[in-house]
Amino acid sequence: MLERLASWNRSAGFWLILMVLCIALEGAALVYQYVFYYDPCVLCVHIRAWILGILVASLLGLVLRNSRVGLIIANLLVLIGSLGFVERSYRTLGTEMGFLDGACSMNPNFPSFLALNQWLPAVFEPLTSCGYTPWVIPQILSMAQTLMALSVVLALGMLLMLVTSLRRPKQDF
């Protein structure tokens, strides 16, 4: 099983699927913002930034997948991005459901060397306060719940992929 996952981890298809997932998530966020008029909060903007980071790390994985060290680095970077995605999704869900009391400002606090809100304000500028996310499936599944589930699945999957890339390949004697 791990050998099959390791093979998949080294395939271009895996990294392309991950990139398409990131693009689809970013696209869905923009559809909710510009078509359905749900302005993003600072937590939503942070989630977009983490997904952009996962996209960049996936591109790196596509390029470096045939190098063991490159594959480990790419898996580790996507895992780190996924864990950031999990943390922001958890905070979004907790704020929405009321079990976390988080300060939610309109300042995304990106570092000066990565001022995404200034470089691309149409995507990374928070426009509303935290607290409510739209329904993905009306009255059943909110955006926060969807993002939480997706981020956990992605993080667990990338942890498994990192484990497969750390294993030494079997050698025939």
Instruction: Write the pLDDT tens digit of every residue in 118-146.
Output: 999 999 999 999 988 999 999 999 999 99
Q: Is pLDDT of 148 > 50?
A: yes
Q: Domain for residue 146, yes or no? A: yes
Please report the sign of the dihedral spanned by the C-alpha atoms of residue 170, residue 164, residue 78, residue 51: positive
Write out pLDDT tens, residues 89-129.
999 999 999 898 766 888 999 999 999 999 999 999 999 99
Give the bridge partners for 142, in sequence order: 135
Q: Domain for residue 148, yes or no? A: yes
Domain with 24 in it? 2-100+128-166
Structurally, how many domains does the chain consist of? 1
Average pLDDT over residues 164-171: 77
Please, what is the average pLDDT of the chain?
Answer: 93
- Quote the tokens at residue 161: 């992929």
pTM: 0.93
Please report the sign of the dihedral spanned by the C-alpha atoms of residue 9, residue 148, residue 90, residue 116: positive
Q: Domain for residue 78, yes or no? A: yes
For residue 61, the domain's CATH number is 1.20.1550.10
